[in-house]
């Protein structure tokens, strides 16, 4: 009798497991947006912004001068570069002028570098959020006076943030600090 009950329970579990598994693995509903390119770019931008700001916080102040080899740039340089690059790219995207607060030397203090980087994202956030796919084909003046579609600057900022976050993550790990993207997800 116990064997029969166990067989029924096991059979029921085997029959319902695929259905439960399919529900657990069901993809999220599709995103409906009138601006799929900028929606996607802003997803990347926002994720990288968080990782980069959190990396700046996580790196100890005495490690901002760290660089793995003499040929590589320091962590402080990455912070300084990103602040200036964000400001410059978003000024190009908006036909505006980057705030002076985004320019700080790589040898500045951790607090000064963090403030400049935060200021650059504060400047860029509304510019990125305000762009639409329809504006991406507009001609802008890019680096060295090149005339390119606005999309080029959007791709540049997303690529720059991903590139430099990967550097930051490596520098953090080399100093015994877990990068933000590797941190356990909060429930």
Over residues 101-158, the pLDDT tens digits come to: 989 999 999 999 999 999 999 999 999 999 999 999 999 999 898 999 999 999 999 9
More confident residue, 96 or 5: 96
pLDDT of residue 13: 46
In the predicted structure, residue 4 carries a pLDDT above the cut 60 = no
What pLDDT is recorded for position 124? 97
The residues spanned by each domain of the chain are 38-63+70-180
Domain 38-63+70-180 has CATH 1.10.10.10: no
Q: What pLDDT is recorded for position 28?
A: 73
Q: Which residue has the tokens 């935060």?
A: 118
Residues 6+ apart with CB under 8 A from 106: 73, 74, 76, 77, 79, 80, 81, 113
pLDDT, residue 159, reads 95
What is the chain's mean pLDDT, rounded?
88
Spatial neighbors of 152 by CB under 8 A, at least 6 apart, are: 140, 142
Over the Cα atoms of the chain, what is R_g? 23
Instruction: Name the pTM for this structure.
Output: 0.82
DSSP H or E segment with residue 112: helix 110-130
Q: How far is CA 149 from CA 77, 84, 167, in A?
A: 29, 21, 28
Tell me, what's the pLDDT at 23? 54
Q: CA torsion angle for 113, 117, 123, 129 (degrees, to 10)?
A: -170
């Amino acid at each position: 009798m116990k064997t029969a009950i166990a067989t029924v329970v096991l059979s029921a579990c085997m029959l319902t497991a695929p259905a439960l598994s399919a529900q657990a693995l069901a993809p999220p509903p599709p995103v409906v947006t009138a601006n799929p390119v900028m929606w996607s770019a802003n997803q990347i931008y926002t994720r990288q912004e968080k990782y980069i700001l959190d990396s700046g916080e996580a790196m100890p102040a005495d490690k901002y001068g760290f660089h793995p080899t003499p040929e590589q740039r320091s962590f402080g340089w990455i912070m300084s570069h990103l602040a200036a690059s964000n400001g410059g790219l978003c000024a190009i995207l908006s036909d505006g002028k980057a705030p002076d607060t985004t320019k700080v030397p790589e040898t500045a203090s951790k607090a000064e570098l963090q403030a400049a980087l935060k200021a650059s994202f504060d400047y860029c956030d509304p510019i990125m959020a305000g762009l639409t796919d329809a504006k991406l084909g507009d001609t802008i003046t890019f680096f060295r006076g090149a005339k390119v579609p606005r999309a080029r600057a959007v791709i540049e900022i997303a690529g720059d943030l991903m590139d430099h976050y990967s550097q930051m993550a490596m520098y953090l790990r080399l100093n015994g600090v877990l990068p933000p993207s590797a941190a356990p997800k909060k429930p």
